[in-house]
Chains A and B, each alone.
Chain A
């Protein structure tokens, strides 16, 4: 079966700097794939290239069998490619419910339908009791959930989560990853960018892609990647056991 997302030899140069070089990987339906790498490894650039906020210098992005490398971000969102941002970006003048409604308008014109669907999604992520408050009242973990909810409202097939657990404490991080695991109930796959290597993140991922200085240095099941000498030597060091 054809993968949901295929990334072929993706490269991005900013002037002389290779932010991303020859990165290839794919995501199958229902998978949760983690892209790990320290700050500056190129994770955000990869997300921006896949979602269309940056144009690649070379390489292709194929989503649901269609080459999307030249499409604009909103066109890719229409095809079912959702994303969240590394720094949470709620529409702070809208309530939490309204934030999610904006996403739902991608497939309905009726505010009543959008409101109903947004409410269901808020229930799914556990924010329903906050629906009529403003995003400013949420903790960082809550706002990250809101980002996921808003992206889910567009009914994506795949959701890209940039720094999904950064800034969260181990309990919050675990809850977040559990939420991602439950995305398959909605038929949504996920690619999660993770800076710090937390055991819980690795355990709950189907596959892990390791980036280092913009290049992919390893890919595979979490337990294999963690033991990969290349990965350890390159940058994991002793941190593997330091996480949650």
Chain B
């Protein structure tokens, strides 16, 4: 019974997301909604490893690009259906994530960030240079998953993907796995001292994250019908995934949805006025968030709610240093 009550709000939200095409008929608006959900899925995927496990990745474009090119190349050379291409995307990206994790998660410090950055950049350069295979900067056409004029099937697909990604996070937050990732983020050595195999759990988080990212990459390619390295493998893709999660609230279930809504809508509104202005908007939003809401929009709200639910006692705070309370704010 309590299980169902706990799931009621998420289920209602999922139903509302799926109902959007029944109300929104304008193709432009539906496309914006698709974009919001693409970034929600990507932000949620990034959030698993970057938000919960606290492992900052600045190279998730690698998994996104692998997804896009898996679908494009298998269709172009072998005539595979886009669905098979999608399966390929996941099948390639997960072992790659495991390999990168195995190398960088054993080390301390910024090696994971550097590793992911390097991976994405190397892949971009390889795809650019290997023209015989990828057509390089000229780009490659991608078949549609749902041929036809209507964008609604695309919307339903990405809505299900977003629900799956956000749902995974929701389940994670209620499972031992989620507690373990949070513990690793807060203090890896302490987590290990109570039996947490930190390297393995970080790697598992990265593999799940990579699978969702690659799936979204394949979808996005098919949605655009054309890809080139600068669209799907470039650094802005990696950065925006992180920014969506950070602005919305790292380590919160719905943070990526909030972040994606803010960013996509802001960039759509301002794109009409000034070219490239959306970059300025990202910068501004990011600065405002870090200055005033270090836990992100949702992180900040949840933090305040939790503090209200459990007020700090007036006595017994002698040893509570300001350093630690600022640490709490950071992780929200």
Contact = CB atoms under 8 A, between A and B. Distances in A.
A83 interface: yes
A138 B319 contact: yes
Chain A interface bracket (under 10, 10 to 19, 20 to 34, 35 or more): 35 or more
B331 A154 contact: no
B316 interface: yes
A142 interface: yes
Contacts of A142: 316
Interface stretch (A11-19, A62-70, A100-108): A100-108
A93 interface: yes
B174 A111 contact: yes
A143 B319 contact: yes
Nearest to A53: B189
Contact of B193 (A82, A101, A137): A82
Main secondary structure of the interface of B (DSSP, over half): helix
Contacts of A92: 186, 324, 327-328, 331
A133 B194 contact: no
Interface in A59-95: 72-74, 77-78, 82-85, 89, 91-95
Interface string B160-187: 0000000000000011100110110111
Contacts of A133: 310, 312-313
Q: Identify which of B176, B190, B195 gathers the most chain A CB atoms within 10 Å of its CB.
A: B195
Contacts of B328: 92-93, 134, 136
A136 B329 CA distance: 12
Contacts of B198: 74
B320 interface: yes
Q: Identify which of B180, B187, B192 gathers the most chain A CB atoms within 10 Å of its CB.
A: B192
Nearest to B185: A93
Contacts of B196: 74, 102
B332 interface: yes
A111 B306 CA distance: 19
A150 interface: yes
B325 interface: yes
B320 A138 contact: yes
A139 interface: yes
B187 A89 contact: yes
B113 interface: no
A194 interface: no
A176 interface: no
Contacts of B179: 94, 98, 101-102, 105, 111, 114
A91 B193 contact: no
Interface string B296-332: 0000000000100110110011111100110110111
A85 to B, nearest CB: 7
A108 B330 CA distance: 29
B290 interface: no
Nearest to B317: A137
A45 to B, nearest CB: 15
A171 B158 CA distance: 61
A102 B180 contact: yes
Contact of B313 (A77, A102, A105, A137): A137
Contacts of B325: 136
B182 A74 contact: no
Contacts of A111: 174-176, 179
B192 A140 contact: no
A98 B175 CA distance: 12
A74 B327 contact: no
Nearest to A51: B193
A109 B176 contact: yes
B274 to A, nearest CB: 39
Contacts of B176: 105, 108-109, 111, 114
Contacts of B186: 91-94
Given A94-B182, A134-B328, A74 B197 contact: yes
B319 A140 contact: yes
A137 B312 CA distance: 6
A157 B228 CA distance: 58
12 contacts: A74-B195, A74-B198, A77-B192, A82-B194, A91-B187, A101-B179, A102-B183, A108-B176, A111-B174, A136-B327, A142-B316, A153-B194
